[in-house]
């Protein structure tokens, strides 16, 4: 067992798997009783032993120790970090929300984008991270670790420095649970178990909230809150992504009706559009029908697409996006910076807004390089006449840096957590400034 740091805020760390198993089983039994939402991250680094020939037989061990120290800074005293293989770590993390595991994984990947320095030598390291969630992916710790490892291997086959939830390989879910969720999803869409929250977006230029992102949630009668990443993946695989998208558009239509009744005609709404739905052959006809059916033409409606779809469907995507533009729908590129979008794509695709991923915002007040990178993205976007939304503003220090940039819209818990439509309207009505659109 590694010696624990005197700082009680740091996690428990283990260098041997047997000690880790003993403690983690004890911790898991406590979690099971308290029903605490928990994640397991399984991390494998890309063959560190290749450095041994050039830099010494144990340089891989030094790298693992250095990496463990760096990762520890992202964890707290309730988390557990263990080395479970030559170049593997497992992290057990108590979650405050379904996003926490993804945030931690992205911080680790971002950390690895910088060289690791040992004895004045710089080492560039890649990793793959698989994530499993309790209670959704298993009811015992062995099952959860195995699911996270299988997910890591699934991600690893495609590329390095990537993150995967168990939903990325739905077969890695416990069979009874995956079958239950798949079977329950159609009824959940109809009976209100799946509902929508709105996370407001604030403009420093206008000094008011100017839009909101529509977020799907599922309150399952047995499993409780099902992470969106999981049930959206299920919807894509069992053919329910269309009905789920329709339900989102209906919710947007009702919200716009409320906004217009309150005189908030310039308030915008953003919806995530699944690549499966967007690239379906009948998409153009379907979306045209839905926009007319639910009185969405002329509304301030934005569709969020992922960097992944830009890479995989460049030939057909342009026509599809141009069709959306003909309906006055703005296009937002979500989680910008986490994928590999070519600048050439930004030059010819009709992208209206880049949503800078929260990993670029996290601790931007402390990281000079991150601030410079953020500045470069903003200046590039302004040169291309593309708007910017910065995601994940969590505290005043980060906000103070972001608001120094002109014409940026911000979104994050510092401003508002996702809320019901009634709460959103109440928040907008209590605002002193008039809500105006920046588009």
Rg (CA), the chain: 23
Q: Which of 191-205, 272-286, 329-343 has the lowest mean pLDDT?
A: 329-343
∠ at Cα 393 (339, 236), nearest 5°? 45
Q: CA–CA separation, 382 vs 240, rounded Å?
A: 38
pLDDT in tens, 270-298: 999 988 888 887 888 899 999 999 999 98
pLDDT of the residue at 74: 87
Report long-range pairs for 253-257 (Cβ below 8 Å, ≥24 apart): 253/294, 253/295, 253/296, 254/421, 255/198, 255/214, 255/421, 256/295, 256/296, 256/299, 256/300, 256/301, 257/295
pLDDT of the residue at 435: 39
Q: CA–CA separation, 214 vs 196, rounded Å?
A: 6
Q: What are phi and psi of 83, to 5 degrees?
A: -90, 120
Q: CA–CA separation, 233 vs 241, rounded Å?
A: 9
Q: Find which of 128-142, 235-249, 261-275, 360-374 is predicted with most confidence, using mean pLDDT.
A: 261-275
Mean pLDDT computed over every residue of the chain = 82
What are 122's strand-pairing partners? 117
pLDDT of the residue at 386: 93
Q: Kindly indicate the confidence band of residue 353, based on its pLDDT and cuts at 50, 70 and 90.
A: very high
Evaluate whether 249 touches 296 at the Cβ level (below 8 Å). Answer: yes
Q: CA–CA separation, 212 vs 434, rounded Å?
A: 15
pLDDT of the residue at 15: 56
Q: Which of 44-53, 207-216, 238-247 has the lowest mean pLDDT?
A: 44-53
Helix or strand holding residue 324 (H, E)? helix 314-326
Distances (CA, A) of 366 to 67, 337, 363, 370, 377: 20, 19, 5, 9, 18
Q: CA–CA separation, 154 vs 184, rounded Å?
A: 26
Q: Which of 46-50, 214-218, 399-403 has the lowest mean pLDDT?
A: 46-50
Q: Which domains does the chain have, with CATH numbers?
A: 12-172 (3.30.70.270), 178-429 (3.20.20.450)
Mean pLDDT, range 225-253, rounded to an integer: 87
Kindly tell me if the per-residue pLDDT of 185 is higher than 70: yes
pLDDT of the residue at 4: 41
Please indicate whether residue 166 or residue 254 has the higher confidence score (pLDDT).
254
Q: Which of 80-84, 162-166, 260-264 has the lowest mean pLDDT?
A: 162-166
Tokens matching residue 278:
């967007």
Q: CA–CA separation, 105 vs 84, rounded Å?
A: 17
Evaluate whether 23 touches 1 at the Cβ level (below 8 Å). Answer: no
pLDDT of the residue at 1: 36
Nearest to 338 by CA among 74, 165, 166, 102: 102
Mean pLDDT, range 352-363, rounded to an integer: 89
| Complete DSSP assignment for 364-412 | TTT-HHHHHHHHHHHHHHHHTT-EEEEE---SHHHHHHHTTSTTEEEES
Kindly tell me if the per-residue pLDDT of 261 is higher than 60: yes
pLDDT of the residue at 430: 83
pLDDT of the residue at 3: 37
Q: Find which of 53-57, 101-105, 208-212, 332-336 is predicted with most confidence, using mean pLDDT.
A: 208-212
Evaluate whether 112 touches 126 at the Cβ level (below 8 Å). Answer: yes
Q: Is the pTM of this model over 0.75?
A: no
Kindly tell me if the per-residue pLDDT of 370 is higher than 80: yes
Kindly tell me if the per-residue pLDDT of 119 is higher than 60: yes
pLDDT of the residue at 28: 73
Mean pLDDT, range 203-209, rounded to an integer: 89
276-295: buried (b, 16+ CB within 10 Å) or exposed (e) per residue? bbbebeebeeebeebbeebe
pLDDT of the residue at 96: 56
Q: CA–CA separation, 355 vs 74, rounded Å?
A: 24
Q: Show Cβ contacts of residue 110 under 8 Å, excluding neighbours closer than 6 positions.
A: 359, 362
pLDDT of the residue at 113: 80
Q: Which of 15-24, 85-94, 354-363 has the lowest mean pLDDT?
A: 15-24
**Residue 419 per-residue DSSP state:** B
Please indicate whether residue 14 or residue 182 has the higher confidence score (pLDDT).
182
Q: Given the structure tokens 């991150």, which residue do they identify?
A: 370
Q: CA–CA separation, 415 vs 394, rounded Å?
A: 8
Kindly tell me if the per-residue pLDDT of 8 is higher than 90: no
Please indicate whether residue 194 or residue 20 has the higher confidence score (pLDDT).
194
Q: What are phi and psi of 424, to 5 degrees?
A: -65, -45
Q: CA–CA separation, 220 vs 78, rounded Å?
A: 27
Distances (CA, A) of 426 to 251, 370, 419: 17, 36, 11
pLDDT of the residue at 311: 65
Helix or strand holding residue 421 (H, E)? helix 421-429
Q: Find which of 42-51, 164-173, 406-415, 427-436 is predicted with most confidence, using mean pLDDT.
A: 406-415
pLDDT of the residue at 99: 57
| Complete DSSP assignment for 337-350 | TSS---HHHHHHS-
Mean pLDDT, range 178-197, rounded to an integer: 88
Side-chain half-sphere exposure of 129, counting CA atoms within 13 A: 23
Kindly tell me if the per-residue pLDDT of 222 is higher than 90: no
Q: What are phi and psi of 219, to 5 degrees?
A: -100, 95
Mean pLDDT, range 202-206, rounded to an integer: 89
Tokens matching residue 426:
């109440």
Helix or strand holding residue 122 (H, E)? strand 121-123
Side-chain half-sphere exposure of 310, counting CA atoms within 13 A: 26
Mean pLDDT, range 406-416, rounded to an integer: 91
Strands (DSSP E) along 124-178, which ranges? 127-134, 162-165
């Amino acid at each position: 067992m590694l010696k624990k740091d005197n700082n009680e805020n740091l996690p428990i760390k283990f260098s041997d798997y047997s000690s880790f198993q003993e403690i983690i089983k004890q911790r898991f039994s406590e979690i099971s009783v308290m029903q605490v939402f928990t994640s397991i991250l399984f991390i494998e680094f890309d063959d560190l032993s290749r450095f041994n020939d050039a830099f010494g037989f144990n340089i891989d061990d030094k790298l693992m120790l250095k990496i463990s120290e760096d990762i520890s800074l992202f964890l707290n005293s309730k988390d557990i970090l263990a080395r479970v293989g030559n170049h593997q770590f497992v992290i057990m993390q108590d979650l405050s929300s379904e996003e926490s595991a993804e945030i931690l994984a992205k911080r680790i990947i971002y950390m690895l984008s910088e060289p690791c320095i040992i004895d004045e030598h710089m080492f560039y390291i890649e990793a793959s991270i698989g994530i499993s969630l309790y209670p959704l992916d298993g009811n015992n710790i062995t099952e959860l670790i195995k699911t996270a490892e299988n997910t890591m291997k699934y991600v690893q086959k495609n590329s390095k420095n990537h993150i995967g939830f168990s939903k990325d390989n739905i077969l890695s879910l416990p069979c009874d649970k995956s079958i239950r969720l798949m079977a329950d999803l159609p009824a959940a869409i109809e009976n209100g178990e799946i509902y929508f929250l709105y996370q407001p977006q604030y403009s420093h230029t206008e000094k008011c909230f100017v839009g909101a992102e529509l977020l799907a949630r599922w309150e399952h009668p047995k499993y409780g809150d099902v992470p969106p990443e999981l049930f959206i993946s299920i919807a894509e695989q069992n053919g329910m992504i269309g009905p789920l998208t329709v339900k989102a558009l209906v919710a947007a239509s009702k919200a716009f009706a409320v906004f217009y009744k309150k005189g908030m005609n310039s308030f915008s709404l953003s919806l995530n559009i699944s690549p499966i739905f967007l690239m379906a052959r009948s998409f153009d006809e379907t979306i045209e029908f839905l926009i007319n059916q639910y009185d969405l033409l002329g509304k301030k409606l934005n569709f969020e697409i992922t960097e992944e779809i830009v890479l995989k469907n460049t030939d057909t995507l342009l026509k599809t996006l141009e069709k959306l533009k003909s309906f006055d729908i703005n296009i937002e590129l979500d989680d910008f910076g986490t994928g590999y979008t070519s600048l050439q794509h930004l030059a010819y695709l009709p992208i209206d807004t880049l949503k800078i991923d929260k990993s670029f915002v996290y601790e931007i007040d402390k990281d000079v390089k991150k601030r410079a990178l953020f500045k470069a993205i903003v200046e590039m976007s302004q040169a291309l006449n593309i708007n910017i939304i910065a995601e994940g503003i969590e505290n005043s220090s980060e906000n103070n840096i972001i608001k120094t940039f002109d014409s940026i819209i911000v979104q994050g818990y510092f401003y508002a957590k996702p809320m019901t439509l009634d709460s959103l309207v109440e928040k907008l009505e209590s605002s002193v400034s008039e809500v105006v659109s920046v588009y």
